[in-house]
Amino acid sequence: GHVDIARALLDHGAAVDTQEKDGWTPLHLAAQFGHVDTARALLDHGADVDRQNKNGSGLTPL
């Protein structure tokens, strides 16, 4: 991931728990694709580890 860009966006107020149509959050995607530094940045900015997706599987990011 582009962790420096993610941090800059988060530092300037980007919504950390925004969800796309199926409910996936940035933390879901960072975890799924192994972007550990980006996941850490999201967690440092308060990302919700219990946020479930909306596609029926109810998966949480971690």
- 34: left (phi > 0), else alpha (psi -120 to 50), else beta? left
The answer to whether 38 and 1 have CB atoms below 8 angstroms apart is: yes
- CATH code where residue 48 lies: 1.25.40.20
The answer to whether 55 and 40 have CB atoms below 8 angstroms apart is: no
pLDDT value for 43: 98
Range of the domain at 58: 1-62
Confidence at 1, pLDDT banded by 50, 70, 90: low
pLDDT value for 14: 96
pLDDT value for 39: 97
Please provide the size of the chain in residues. 62
Structural domain count, the chain: 1
pLDDT in tens, 7-61: 999 999 999 999 999 999 999 999 999 999 999 999 999 999 999 988 878 899 9
Q: The pTM is what?
A: 0.89
User: Which pairs from 44-49 meet CB under 8 Å and 24+ separation?
Assistant: 45/10, 45/16, 46/16, 47/16, 47/17, 48/16, 48/17
